[in-house]
Amino acid sequence: MLYQLYETQRALLEPFADFAQATAKLYTNPLLPLSQSPFSQRISAGFDLFYRLGKGYEKPAFGIASVPVHGVNVTIMERVEMDLPFCELRRFKRFSDDPKTLDTLLTQPPVLVVAPLSGHYATLLRDTVKSLLSDQKVFITDWKNARLVPQEEGEFHLDDYINYVQDFIRYLQKQYGNCHVISVCQPTVPVLAAISLMASRGETTPLSMTMMGGPIDARKSPTSVNHLATQRSFEWFENNVIHRVPNNYPGAGRRVYPGFLQYTGFVAMNPDRHASSHYDYFKDLVKGDDASAEQHRKFYDEYNAVLDMDANYYLETIQTVFQDFSLVNGTWDVRAPDGTLERVRPQDITTTALFTIEGELDDISGSGQTHAAQDLCANIPAHLRLQYDVMGAGHYGIFSGRRWRDMVYPKVRGFIYAHHPAPEADSAPVNDGELVLAEDAAPQIAQHSPPHTHNTARSAPASNKRRRGGR
Q: Which band of pLDDT confidence, cut at 50, 70 and 90, is reported for residue 452?
A: very low
Longest dimension (CA), the chain: 76
Q: What percent of the chain has pLDDT over 90?
A: 69
Q: What is the mean pLDDT of residues 273-301?
A: 90
Q: Which band of pLDDT confidence, cut at 50, 70 and 90, is reported for residue 443?
A: very low
Task: Reply yes or no on whether the pLDDT at 439 is more than 70.
Answer: no
- Separation CA 223–CA 220 (nearest Å): 9
For residue 332, give every residue at least 6 positions away whose Cβ sits within 8 Å of its Cβ, in sequence order, or none: 193, 320, 326, 343, 344
Q: Tell me the one-letter amino acid at 25.
A: K
Produce one character per residue of 439-454: b if its CB has 16 or more CB atoms within 10 Å, e if not.
bbbbebbbbeeeebee
- Separation CA 239–CA 63 (nearest Å): 39
Query: Quick count: other Cβ atoms within 10 Å of Cβ 80?
Result: 10
From 66-70, 201-205, 427-431, 463-467, the region with the lowest mean pLDDT: 463-467
> 187 or 225, which is more confident?
187
- In this prediction, residue 438 carries a pLDDT of 58
Identify each DSSP E strand in 169-299 by its residue range: 180-184, 208-212, 243-244, 255-257
Q: What are phi and psi of 372, to 5 degrees?
A: -60, -25
Q: What is the mean pLDDT of residues 417-433?
A: 63
Q: Which band of pLDDT confidence, cut at 50, 70 and 90, is reported for residue 470?
A: very low
Task: Reply yes or no on whether the pLDDT at 462 is more than 50.
Answer: no
The pLDDT tens digits for 57-104 are 889 999 999 999 999 999 999 999 999 999 999 999 999 999 999 999
- In this prediction, residue 2 carries a pLDDT of 86
Q: What is the mean pLDDT of residues 44-64?
A: 91
- Separation CA 225–CA 247 (nearest Å): 31
Q: What are phi and psi of 236, to 5 degrees?
A: -60, -45
Q: Which band of pLDDT confidence, cut at 50, 70 and 90, is reported for residue 204?
A: very high
The pLDDT tens digits for 138-196 are 999 999 999 999 999 999 999 999 999 999 999 999 999 999 999 999 999 999 999 99
For residue 233, give every residue at least 6 positions away whose Cβ sits within 8 Å of its Cβ, in sequence order, or none: none
What is the overall mean pLDDT for the chain?
88
Q: Could you give the angle at which helices 290-303 and 271-287 cross, rounded to 10 degrees? A: 150
CA gyration radius for the chain? 23
- In this prediction, residue 56 carries a pLDDT of 87
Q: What is the mean pLDDT of residues 337-362?
A: 96
- In this prediction, residue 424 carries a pLDDT of 63
Q: Which band of pLDDT confidence, cut at 50, 70 and 90, is reported for residue 461?
A: very low
- In this prediction, residue 446 carries a pLDDT of 34
Q: 3-class SS at 386?
A: strand
Q: What is the mean pLDDT of residues 238-258?
A: 94
- In this prediction, residue 398 carries a pLDDT of 96
